[in-house]
Chain A
């Protein structure tokens, strides 16, 4: 399974942007980059995913390096509800079901 590396923890202030980095130097051409987050006492929830181009949705933006060996999840204006563990996961581009391989993720703390 392709591996990702994330900082164990990060801290930010409310209403400020947050940039969560992820390194995936062994990524292959068929791997998608997925981000999930897990709020306290809840199951993980999907945030965003991408392949090569930067992606935006209502929750966040995903910036992917040109060589695809790293990516950054961007929360444009953090709120207290964004405090969670954020997981960066690689998924092979295949048809059909595929397990997710979770690392330790980044625990994001938001200060009021």
Chain B
């Protein structure tokens, strides 16, 4: 079946603008995760959603970052007033609870 998809694949924006990144998880997966990977670095956890439970937002670096998951499926990660240090690859993953995580190809965000 289809894997995790993310859009756009690349996003270039100007400092101070807002951006929205989209993730379509694997159908039936109730858990959805966002990570980011800065150039040459490992992955950094941002937030996860599981079913109807309150999301774990413990990894969000600032209040400029937010995410929502509508209808238990598609998720949007929003970054307000982008800064140059927000430039990174943003990766989404989904899983059945307690199961292995399947990652999407990521969105490369460049803030000029």
List the A side residues contacting B48 at CB < 8 Å.
Answer: 97, 99
List the B side residues contacting A101 at CB < 8 Å.
Answer: 45
Instruction: Establish whether residues A96 and B103, one from each chain, have CB atoms under 8 Å apart when the complex forms.
Output: no
Closest-CB distance, A16 to chain B (whole angstroms): 27
A15 in contact (CB, < 8 A): no
- How many A-B pairs have beta carbons closer than 8 Å: the answer is 58
User: How far apart are the CA atoms of A105 and B40 in the complex, in Å?
Assistant: 11
B33 in contact (CB, < 8 A): yes
Interface residues on A, range: 20 to 34
Identify the closest chain B residue to A93 (Cβ). B98
Identify the closest chain B residue to A91 (Cβ). B98
Instruction: Establish whether residues B50 and A105, one from each chain, have CB atoms under 8 Å apart when the complex forms.
Output: no
A2 in contact (CB, < 8 A): no
Interface string of B44-74 (1 = CB under 8 A from A): 1100111000001001000000000000000
B91 in contact (CB, < 8 A): yes
Q: Is the interface of B mostly helix, strand, loop or mixed?
A: strand
Instruction: Establish whether residues A46 and B102, one from each chain, have CB atoms under 8 Å apart when the complex forms.
Output: yes
| Partner among A34, A46, A97 whose Cβ is within 8 Å of the Cβ of B97 | A97
Instruction: Establish whether residues B42 and A87, one from each chain, have CB atoms under 8 Å apart when the complex forms.
Output: yes
- Interface set of A (CB-CB < 8 Å, partner B): 34, 42-46, 49, 87, 94-105
| Nearest 5 CB-CB pairings of A with B | A43-B103, A97-B31, A97-B50, A102-B43, A99-B45
Q: List 25 A-B contacts (CB under 8 A).
A: A42-B106, A43-B105, A44-B43, A46-B102, A49-B100, A87-B42, A95-B97, A95-B98, A96-B31, A96-B50, A96-B97, A97-B30, A97-B33, A97-B48, A97-B50, A97-B95, A97-B97, A99-B48, A99-B59, A100-B35, A100-B101, A102-B35, A102-B43, A103-B42, A104-B41
